[in-house]
Amino acid sequence: MKLLLDTHVFLWWSEDDPRLKQEVKDRIIQADGNIVSAVSAWEVAIKTALGKLRLQVPFEEAVEINAFQKLPVEFRHAAATAALPPHHGDPFDRLLIAQALTEGLTLVTHDRVFAAYGIPVLWT
């Protein structure tokens, strides 16, 4: 199983945050692949610029240190957001959901709203 980590989960992983349960850490370690989206990089860049977030290391470097795969945003991902019901208004999350659906990935998240989309989810 390949996992797409949402922004919070990746940050928790890379900073060894106790909010990430050991069971989820184990699943990430055992996964066939761990993926971080360019959507998360975009979200982190915006929040960092606004002073809402401070990182220990640059985001891309953290992805590389952890040997996670990078998932670019493609036109088909953006187009898939149009078919999503309006359960979630956050554009970053909607694009992550569309990527998980399009790529057949399990999304790792703490956001319970994601369940409404019928995608495979690993809850933190």
**What does each of the 124 residues of the chain score in pLDDT, given as a tens digit?**
999 999 999 999 999 999 999 999 999 999 999 999 999 999 999 999 999 999 999 999 999 999 999 999 999 999 999 999 999 889 999 999 999 999 999 999 999 999 899 999 999 9
Whole-angstrom Cα distance, residue 45 to residue 19?
22
Least Cα distance to 39 among 117, 93, 80 occurs for: 93
Give pLDDT, residue 31: 98
Contact 107, 122 (CB under 8 A): yes
CB atoms within 10 A of CB 9: 25
Maximum CA extent, the chain: 37
CATH code, domain with 94: 3.40.50.1010
In which domain, by residue range, is 105 found?
2-123
| Overall number of domains in the chain | 1
Per-residue pLDDT reduced to its tens digit, 58-73: 999 999 999 999 999 9
Whole-prediction pTM value? 0.95
Q: Which residue has the tokens 């359960």?
A: 87
HSE-CB of 33 using CA atoms within 13 angstroms: 12
